[in-house]
Chains A and B, each alone.
Chain A
Amino acid sequence: MSLHTKTLAQLAKGLRAREFSSVELARAFLERMEASQPALNAFITVMREQALADAQAADRELASGATRTLTGLPIVHKDLFCTAGVRTTCGSRMLDNFVSPYDATVVAKLKAAGAVTLGKSNMDEFAMGSSNETSYFGPVRNPWNTTLVPGGSSGGSAAAVAARLVPVATATDTGGSIRQPAALCGVTGVKPTYGRVSRYGMIAFASSLDQGGVIAATAEDAALVLREMAGFDGNDSTSVDQPVPDYIASLGAPLAGLKIGLLKEFFDKGLDQENERRVREALAVYEKLGARLREVSLPNLPLSVPVYYVVAPAECSSNLARYDGVRFGHRCQDPRDLMDLYKRSRGEGFGAEVKRRVMTGTYVLSAGYYDAYYLKAQKVRQLISADFTRAFGEVDVLMGPTTPTPAFEIGAKTADPITMYLNDIYTIGANLAGLPAVSVPCGFVGGLPVGLQIVGRHFGEAKLLNVAHAFQRETDWHTRIPEHYR
């Protein structure tokens, strides 16, 4: 009985039918997680004892017949979601010994829905990276080819789901950190609308862009989890008070008449030709389902990378000011005075890319430069957002590639930060405009998975999941598992 090839939806049915127990499920996935560590390094913490105790409790609940939506189902959290009593590192030496005193709202909600947490996934340090190479705990490797990166920053979550080490994992997306690794690992990644999922207890990187979401094998599994994660939270001042629709109920809606906009600017130089072919083949599937395709132009969209590399570092330099070596986090040895304590604790606690972004942000916010960089970037961001609004006046969803190329070699782009930043060239726009977006596997290039990106209207997650699910009923790319993990 191979449990790991089942979807979350199938596992939920099996648990209720008593085909297997929650403890059996937890054991099976914990074993896969532990066995994969030397090759993939997808986890920072494996919570074996706690998980088995929680699974036992879930089995008692299942025996009593009173079940919640996710009772007994295993999940992994990206290690930037605070988990009470469990180490939460954010991939950084700064938080190497940090044990969170409380649960993030997402963690608390999934716990309340009955999910069993198996561990914490590896990630780029403070979610700053597109390859998972900036983690203090070492890079994650792509299960399709372990000499390649899994993408980032949610590389651990994406690699774990791709290798079926866990059926679903939480993740976060500031400039593409859910969709890009999902594409490079061949799994489904959902970045909800800004404000849809609470950021309380999600360690902050860039507060006007950060959003929690989910990585799963299928759109249906993602819908099951998102339905529990989403919703208003008074503890997050950017949380939006909107009812959460039943994402499962609308999954099967027909697509006839759906108006799809092709992001013209994405199908340009820079996009790998084979990658483009896979995306165009996916679009043909939608045409067959009765959707209508038309090209739309978002002329300011190519400026999203430069806008992002002003706005995100600015917000990060402000958010990361809290790591002062005084209240929590790394402290240097024998500080001479308070200034020395601040500077050496931060200098030692942060890795190279985090320091680069903190300094970039410090510079663009400093006296005399604020107007030229930060204010200018926020104005161009407004233009990009207006481009999206205009496009959604004509079409229901926007489609294009998730990334310019499939996964690349570990170490290939670490020397030049700007080349690395270009990995997110197609994903950043949705973050700048606060829009929901998903990436679904749409084929292979040279044996490596690539993704189709679908961007929706604000709070249009139900439509996005419906559109993604329809594709997965016609194709089997989402069922492909790397050879070693089948």
Chain B
Amino acid sequence: MYDFAQVFALVIAHSRTFTINRPMSLTREQIENIAHLARLALRPEELPVYQQSLSAILDFVGQLDRADTGNVAPMAHPLPGLSQRLRADLVADSDRHEVYQANAPQVAAGLYLVPKVIE
């Protein structure tokens, strides 16, 4: 059905065109929007780099379309028949906020400090 030769061939074809002009599936505006959703400040020179590589990645993962998954349930857990275990809703930890806050960039009176949020 599929073989690794096809995957390699695809990647070789892809790397040949990687540095050449090829139609990109994502626009610069889409990259800016994704970066905003991901809360990442990008430098202007990073935008074309991510536009190119994210477009290439999406093209590459696009080969999943070829798989027939008509009656297949999505995999929810890596081990067959298992699901996420829940624990009893009980307090199990002691208060260690001072220890945890030792790693915080800015703390005062046991509170994390951030720039003013409400005017």
Chain A residues packing against B (C-beta within 8 Å): 97-99, 101, 193-195, 208-209, 234, 237-238, 240, 265-266, 268-271, 299-300, 302-303, 305-307, 309-310, 317, 321, 324-329, 331, 335-344, 346-348, 350, 352, 355-356, 358-360, 362-364, 366, 373, 375-383, 385, 389, 415-419, 422, 425, 431-434, 458
Contact = CB atoms under 8 A, between A and B. Distances in A.
A415 B53 CA distance: 10
Interface in B43-60: 43, 46, 49-50, 53-54, 56-58, 60
16 contacts: A237-B84, A240-B82, A266-B4, A268-B5, A302-B3, A305-B60, A306-B64, A309-B57, A326-B112, A326-B114, A338-B115, A347-B43, A356-B50, A360-B57, A360-B58, A458-B80
A73 to B, nearest CB: 29
Given A194-B78, A300-B2, A344 B103 contact: no
Given A99-B103, A269-B8, A422-B11, A381 B41 contact: no
B104 A326 contact: yes
A207 to B, nearest CB: 10
Contact of B99 (A101, A237, A327, A364): A101
A203 B23 CA distance: 37
B61 A382 contact: no
Contacts of A341: 114-115
A120 B114 CA distance: 32
Contacts of B65: 376
For the residues of A in contact with B, the DSSP-based class is helix
Nearest to B79: A434
B41 A344 contact: yes
B85 to A, nearest CB: 5
Contacts of B102: 99, 101
B7 interface: yes
Interface of B: 1-9, 11, 14-15, 18-19, 26, 31, 34-43, 46, 49-50, 53-54, 56-58, 60-65, 67, 69, 72-80, 82, 84-87, 96, 99-106, 112, 114-117
Contacts of B58: 360, 363
A194 B77 CA distance: 10
Contacts of B9: 269
B87 A359 contact: no
A329 B102 CA distance: 11
Contact of A326 (B36, B62, B69, B105): B105
B39 A422 contact: no
A366 B67 contact: no
A422 B10 CA distance: 11
Contacts of A310: 61, 64
A305 B7 contact: yes
A329 B112 CA distance: 13
B85 A237 contact: yes
B8 A101 contact: no
Nearest to B49: A352
Given A237-B85, A358-B38, A383-B67, 10 more contacts: A194-B78, A237-B84, A309-B57, A328-B105, A343-B36, A343-B39, A359-B54, A360-B57, A382-B75, A415-B19
Nearest to A306: B61
